[in-house]
Amino acid sequence: MPDEVFVTAINCMDGRTQRPVFEWMQSTYNAHHVDMITEPGPDGILADGHDILVPTIKERVLVSVNAHGSKVVAIVSHDMCAGNPVSKEEHLEHLHKAAETVRGWELPVEVVGLWVDGEKWEVERVF
């Protein structure tokens, strides 16, 4: 594994987001593997910071960082999310709050926020 590059995506379970996020992460970070941590509406879960799922998401991120050496954690929001059915503006607010939650874990990673549009299912880096 020493020559393999891993990155991490906290992504929605919605299958429409999986491939575009995987391909964007792989291309942008020259990664061999993308560890996908999926939940319905993860931006909303992490924005809350106290949701019962936050510790399990953190545990899975720790596996990716500690066992695979991931240096990047992306948090994903997208159009038409059934798990967090809010406007794009609210998703972007949740994305920023979610990043605060993940940064609060004080891991040696870059935290990025991604938006996936619902028409072409293309990834846009928000921060």
For the segment 51-106, what is each residue's pLDDT rounded down to a tens digit?
999 999 999 999 999 999 999 999 999 999 999 999 999 999 999 999 999 999 99
Find the CATH number of the domain harbouring 85: 3.40.1050.10
Kindly state whether residue 63 falls inside one of the protein's structural domains: yes
pLDDT for position 14: 98
Kindly state whether residue 103 falls inside one of the protein's structural domains: yes
- Tell whether the torsion through CA atoms of 120, 127, 64 and 77 is positive or negative: negative
CB atoms within 10 A of CB 2: 4
Helices (H), 1-127: 15-29, 42-48, 54-68, 88-103
CB atoms within 10 A of CB 90: 15
How far lies 54's CA from each of 41, 47, 98, 125, in Å? 12, 10, 10, 23
Kindly state whether residue 1 falls inside one of the protein's structural domains: no
Kindly state whether residue 83 falls inside one of the protein's structural domains: yes
Structural domain that includes position 67: 6-125
pLDDT for position 3: 81
pLDDT-above-70 percentage for the chain: 98
Kindly state whether residue 30 falls inside one of the protein's structural domains: yes
pLDDT digits (tens, 9 = 90+) for 11-66: 999 999 999 999 999 999 999 999 999 999 999 999 999 899 999 999 999 999 99
Q: Kindly tell me if the per-residue pLDDT of 2 is higher than 70.
A: no
User: Is 68 within 8 Å of 33 (Cβ atoms)?
Assistant: yes
Number of domains in the chain: 1
Q: What mean pLDDT value characterizes the chain?
A: 97
